[in-house]
């Protein structure tokens, strides 16, 4: 199991290797989808009570870092 950043885990034996929060079966995409659908941080925490506020920030930070890479134009 690897950690990326500190609260996001990737385990090939869990959720098909998709990034999850702290080893739980809550995928980063689940959290991002809830936020993208308009739920507030408080509503996401209510919907997924095992999460902590720092988990939401970690999901956003993880997604931001995944998208922040150079694209080479041919």
Residue with tokens 């034996």: 13
Instruction: Answer whether 0.75 is exceeded by the pTM.
Output: yes
Rounded Cα gap, residues 35 and 47, in angstroms: 11
How far apart, in Å, are the Cα atoms of 9 and each of 24, 40, 53, 56, 71?
9, 23, 17, 14, 26
Task: From first to last of the 74 residues of the chain, give the pLDDT tens digit.
Answer: 444 458 999 999 999 999 999 999 999 999 999 999 999 999 999 999 999 999 999 999 999 998 887 777 77
Domains for the chain: give ranges and CATH numbers.
2-58 (1.10.10.10)
pLDDT for residue 27: 97
pLDDT for residue 13: 94
């Amino acid at each position: 199991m690897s950690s990326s950043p500190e609260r996001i885990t990737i385990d090939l034996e869990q959720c098909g290797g998709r990034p999850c929060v702290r080893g739980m079966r809550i995928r980063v995409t689940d959290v991002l989808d809830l936020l993208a659908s308009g739920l507030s941080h408080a509503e996401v925490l209510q919907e997924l009570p095992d999460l902590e506020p720092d988990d939401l920030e970690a999901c956003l930070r993880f997604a931001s870092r995944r998208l922040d890479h150079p694209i080479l134009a041919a």
